[in-house]
Structure 1
Amino acid sequence: MVNATGPLWYPLQNYFMIERENQPEEDHSVPTRIKRLEEQYAETGIRRSVDAIIVTTHRGFPHILVLQVANAFYKLPGGYLDPTESDRVGLLTRLNEQLGIPHPTKPGYVLPQGGEDWVVRDCLSTWWRPNFDTFLYPYLPAHCTTPKESKKLYLVTLPPQKTFAVPLNMKLHAIPIFEFYDNAARYGPQFAGIPYLLSK
């Protein structure tokens, strides 16, 4: 796909990966995640999350960059926003934290070139968590006046070349888009909806 200024995505072989320190998940189980959601909601209200749909091509076919955590579940790069962060600034920060190149002498600091060349584009969908449970919906149910979380999926594009620093406890996969189609059983409903979102 191209726009007025050139391609929106580039071949997978243009990108490189290096390893960085482990980035442990904040929640080690579903009950822990729900408990933390309840605590956050009590403190700051609705939790806002942002995830990136990053497209590259392999053999001319679109692939999505996906993180696999501890050889188990898959997730899109991104995460929770601080209450005062905007969607775009927060998403750039999360991408930089997860896949940016760490500074060799300052633990926790990420070199700017690891994340300033992400381009956050359109919001492709918003998912809602009406209750303190695991279910997210691609709409806000009419009876729900106090949702517990909103999760926005943004299209994020890359420069022609880039190096990713992938935490040791994660793997960065490029999964062909057809793998997600009608495959909610394996990847979940958000991934299964990506082919529809990108077809627009």
Structure 2
Amino acid sequence: MFIILELNYTFGTKEAQPEEDPSVAARLARLQNDYETSGMRRTVEGVLVVHEHNHPHVLMLQIANSFFKLPGDYLRPGEDEIEGLKNRLSERLAPVTNNYNAVTNSAGGSEQNWEIGECLSVWWRPNFETFMYPYVPAHVTKPKEQKKIFLVQLPEKKVLSVPKNMKLLAVPLFELYDNAQRYGPQLSAIPHLLSRFNFIYEK
């Protein structure tokens, strides 16, 4: 399979988007509260691959100069995962127009102009803890969160706007590979997940 990697994209900024939870403990507490009312949380994230010097890079958000994450977030109950991921990508990365009611890109597309590809991996949170696994442990019958990571193809001439309190970094695959100590097991697994693709580099 092939992935066409674009170099023709630009960055802008927009208003800050503070994180809903000020700490990991607060996020887990909210996860538990949400679980009691809505059941298992469903989260979607996107792997946006670009290239620099003919080497694949993954776009990641950096928060507080230390925490790295893929763009995306949790879904509302009953929300479709593909449409939900498009909405989350637009909320995080699409530029805001002058009327502040819609987002657009330089190719004239709408906020839904995200090319969502196949699901690369599924991660499971068995308990109200930080650990997630690429499988459901045998003793777990009611996991607390399911996270799906999708491949996202960037359209040509895409404009990305980053909240002022975050950074959007292009991290090379060689930096992610076998580097769980810095990026965690989910992000460091991305080079393995992409290894079956052939990359076509375009300017």
Give the TM-score of the pair, scaled to structure 2.
0.91
Q: Quick one: distance in 2 between partners of 1:44 and 1:135?
A: 21
**What residue identity is the alignment partner of 1:44?**
S
Number of the residue aligned with 2:59: 65
Structure 2 equivalent of residue 174 of structure 1: 170
Q: Greater relative contact order (Cα 8 A, min sep 6): structure 1 or 2?
A: 2
TM-score after normalising by structure 1: 0.92
Structure 1 CA distance for aligned equivalents of residues 71 and 103 of structure 2: 18
* Pairing 1:91–2:85 present: yes
What SS does the corresponding residue of 1:152 show, helix, strand or coil? strand
Equivalent residue letter for 2:181:
A
Secondary structure of 1:31's counterpart equals helix
Task: Report the 3-state secondary structure (helix = DSSP H, G, I; strand = E; otherwise coil) of the residue aligned with 1:8.
Answer: strand
RMSD over aligned Cα, in angstroms? Answer: 1.3
The alpha-carbon deviation at position 110 of structure 1 amounts to 3.1
Instruction: Structure 1: state its 5+ residue gaps.
Output: none
The alignment-based identity, stated in percent, is: 49
Which residue is 1:21 aligned to? 15
Which of 121, 124, 137 is equivalent to 2:133?
A: 137
Aligned pair partner of 1:159 in 147, 155, 158: 155
Cα offset, 1:182, TM superposition: 0.6
Deviations 1:148-175 (A, max 9, x none): 0000000000112111111000011101
- Which residue identity does 2:142 align to in structure 1? T
- Structure 2 residue 176 is the aligned partner of structure 1 residue 184: no
Q: Please report how far the alpha carbon of residue 114 of structure 1 lies from its aligned counterpart in structure 2 after TM superposition.
A: 5.7
Aligned residue pairs, count: 192
The residue identity in structure 1 corresponding to 2:97 is H
Whichever residue aligns with residue 79 of structure 2, its letter is E
Q: Which runs of 5+ in 2 are unaligned?
A: 197-203
1:30 deviates by 1.2
Per-residue CA shift, 1:13-49, capped at 9, x if unaligned? x111111000000111111011100010001000000
> CA–CA distance in 2 between the matches of 1:153 and 1:170?
21
